[in-house]
A and B are shown apart, each in its own frame.
Chain A
């Protein structure tokens, strides 16, 4: 028999366990891509439905309705309305949740009307008994004219039945679930039917009310649609009527098929809500959770990070000892290996942060935080939903800025995007961590690590500056803002290990292959700039240094002489020249040319700072086998004879890194999300000038 392939689109409300089902069907056999032109994640996976049929499953963004409110939601409509779309499915799998069946069926009823074979999976069926719910599946199938499967994605129950239903949906192309048109406005829909006779009535109706881009349609249809759109009030009224009629039909069906014994309905949610959204305890719990996150990021991540750091230093030395000296060995041991080390060192922190964010989202707690914070955030021109980007921003600004899409108010969304880079992303942590380790004593006060508290303070400064800038932006930005804030308060649930694992794997992979590429490329460029220079000075380094030694008449061992040559070479390499050039500008901040080089390179990405210093110091002193921290500790300021990384310089650097906009990837994503270069450029210049000014003040006051 021939092997065939089908396409399945996975659709459902948020919080229905859609992702769990996707993970169950595809396992690790999935990949994340992008929809052309926009940055919405496109998740696809393969699933063997039978020996001969493989399904490509497309996980469409969660939505409450096919009428989109956000960019993410518009993907659902675009995929399902256009038969020419490359993702247009053979079967739609709608996921619903047993306790919210009524609202979930609203989306289902819209999808069903699109005339695509549809299978309905009702998730969390394992909780039916506890919640006192019973469903007459056979009758429901008949009423909805759709295959209905009870599943528990978390426990893996019913998955095989879903596959079977997808393979052979009992009800193929169908008459729409309900003919609402006549009850809404028969005359109007008669006109629609004649003007757009090549489309089904419901599709025509969606084209009229929802589609901005009509360019795929023939000219005469476009004109007809413009005409049918003229009376906006009437359209709004009809949409309202449609919604009410759909719910009326759903209520009728559920009355016959769905029973809930409210006595049994659990009160756990009500009890938890009482505490978690309490006006005092709510905030205390939220603060405690944040504190836990930050302490674990600093404490737990420390051990694997040091391990990665020293392992790569050791690997570099081992390779060096095994290979013949030369250009390639040098590139490998001073460019590529430290570069890869510089990427991998982030993984522990990214994993911990994404783990916490994923747990908060999965359990349903994040919605309570949004509820608690909305009024406060609104004073600063943001929405309660801005909390999610601001917290995710502590992992990485890129997904955080993308998460701002859920905010429906234009101005609230823009402000959130603009201030998110102030929050302490994980790329800043290596910089913070190494400087804190150098200038803050490793002591404990009342069980709190002093270094951990300093890190917490830096987070607070970052968060405070985000809030203050938001307040100022709210006053000066002139953007009209009309939106309806509605957020679902989902039922609490335990996070599934599988979902957490896949989420973290995905995010870490995206980081390593996305930001990692930039970091590695920059490491190699830096290595090149550091090991090459103008021939007049760099090329004659050996001769010049030997001459100098002879003139001064000093006795040096061979090792010392080699060190002197290396140091001379670095100073006169291209990178040294670059650093020297900007030295006068950064001297008032307490930095020398080596830190200058690291600052320049970290304008591409902050985390490059540590890697650059690693490269600079390993180029300078090839015999040194210690890790980067020891090397920085040993660095002496030749003018004062004291440590280079002393308290004032360290603090000034920390302040600089809190405020400066140093991430090319973030600037690119802001450009894509706001559709103009104006906002990222404002961010770049505004934040970086602020950083310079405040670092200057810090250094001058402390030294």
Chain B
């Protein structure tokens, strides 16, 4: 299983995966949530959703469904695997 932002525990950090730009919605990129940047989980809302993160200096909250498509930790081959699926 690939690890995603949704899998982070409170206080835990990860790096958004380098490749596979298309997996992240443009709106998130514009808010500074982009590949190569560090993500920190600040708080998980009651009922485990949404998630409050700090990424690239931005404090933002996103829903779990989006968080679970943002893969973290670098692995350059992953994008191609996803695409061939």
Chain A contacts to B: CB under 8 angstroms: 64-65, 67, 69, 100, 102-103, 106, 236-237, 239-241, 243-244, 247, 269-270, 273-274, 277, 279, 282-283, 367, 370-372, 374-376, 384, 484-491
Contacts and interface: CB of A to CB of B under 8 A. Distances in A.
Contact of B29 (A100, A244, A269, A370): A244
A247 B24 CA distance: 15
Contacts of A489: 42, 52, 59-61
Given A244-B21, A371-B61, A277 B31 contact: no
Nearest to A280: B46
Contact of B66 (A244, A247, A269, A484): A484
Contacts of A67: 26, 30
A273 B57 contact: no
B34 interface: yes
Contact of A488 (B45, B47, B48, B59): B59
Nearest to B57: A102
Contacts of A273: 42-43, 52
Interface string B40-65: 00110111111010001111111100
B14 to A, nearest CB: 18
B32 A103 contact: yes
A243 B21 CA distance: 10
Closest 4 CB pairs of A and B: A279-B46, A375-B47, A489-B59, A240-B21
Contacts of B48: 375
Contacts of A282: 46
B22 interface: yes
A605 B29 CA distance: 45
B79 to A, nearest CB: 13
Given A65-B30, A241-B21, A484-B66, 14 more contacts: A64-B30, A102-B58, A243-B26, A243-B34, A247-B34, A247-B56, A371-B50, A375-B47, A484-B25, A485-B50, A485-B62, A486-B27, A489-B60, A489-B61
29 contacts: A64-B27, A64-B31, A69-B27, A103-B31, A103-B56, A106-B32, A237-B22, A240-B24, A240-B26, A243-B29, A244-B29, A247-B34, A273-B52, A277-B43, A279-B46, A367-B61, A371-B43, A372-B45, A374-B45, A374-B61, A375-B46, A375-B50, A384-B50, A486-B31, A488-B31, A488-B58, A489-B61, A490-B59, A491-B59
Most buried by B among A239, A241, A243, A488: A243
A286 to B, nearest CB: 11
Contacts of B58: 100, 102-103, 488
Contact of A376 (B22, B25, B29, B47): B47
B80 to A, nearest CB: 15
Nearest to B59: A489
A375 B27 contact: no
B28 interface: yes
Given A69-B27, A239-B26, A374 B32 contact: no
A358 B80 CA distance: 48
Interface of B is mostly: mixed
Contacts of A374: 45, 49-50, 61, 63
A574 to B, nearest CB: 57
Contacts of B42: 270, 273, 489
A107 to B, nearest CB: 9
A662 B10 CA distance: 47
A274 B21 CA distance: 32
A488 B63 CA distance: 12
A486 B29 contact: no
A102 B55 CA distance: 11
B61 A240 contact: no
A308 B45 CA distance: 45
Given A102-B57, A240-B22, A244-B34, A484 B27 contact: yes
Nearest to B50: A374
Given A240-B22, A374-B49, A384-B50, A486 B62 contact: yes
A485 B66 contact: yes
B30 to A, nearest CB: 4
Given A374-B49, A489-B52, A274 B32 contact: no
Nearest to B35: A244
A380 to B, nearest CB: 13
Nearest to A237: B22
Contacts of A269: 59
Given A65-B30, A484-B25, A371 B63 contact: no
Contacts of B27: 64-65, 69, 484, 486
Nearest to B58: A103
Contacts of A487: 60-61
A636 to B, nearest CB: 54
A274 B61 contact: no
Nearest to A374: B50
B46 to A, nearest CB: 4
A486 B22 CA distance: 17
A487 B52 CA distance: 9
Contacts of B59: 269, 488-491
B61 to A, nearest CB: 5
Nearest to B54: A489
Contacts of B26: 67, 236, 239-240, 243
Contacts of A239: 26
A277 B31 CA distance: 22
Nearest to B37: A247
